[in-house]
């Protein structure tokens, strides 16, 4: 791979990321809410069990507490 081409490729994607970030910052609360609702509707339509995450929540909190406690 040509290092110059790699740098140019990364620079293009960095520019895309900057534009996307600017667009996100300019989005209104209504736009963000509509986007969230669309994502949830899509998940439901695809059969994703939205309640399944809550079943593992105590385990996640226990792991987080162990990580915060530091090395054993």
pLDDT digits (tens, 9 = 90+) for 16-69: 999 999 999 999 999 999 999 999 999 999 998 887 767 778 888 899 999 999
Give how many domains the chain has, as a whole number. Answer: 1
Structural domain including 58 reads 3-69
Both tokens of 10, joined, read: 């990364």
Position with higher pLDDT, 11 vs 56: 11
State whether residue 32 is helix, strand or coil: helix
* pTM for the model: 0.50
State whether residue 49 is helix, strand or coil: coil
């Amino acid at each position: 791979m040509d290092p110059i081409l790699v740098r140019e490729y990364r620079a293009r994607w960095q520019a895309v990321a900057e534009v996307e970030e600017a667009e996100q910052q300019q989005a209104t609360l209504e736009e963000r809410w509509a986007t969230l609702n669309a994502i949830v509707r899509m998940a439901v339509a695809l059969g994703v069990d939205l309640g399944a995450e809550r079943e593992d929540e105590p385990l996640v909190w226990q792991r987080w507490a162990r990580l915060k406690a530091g090395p054993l």
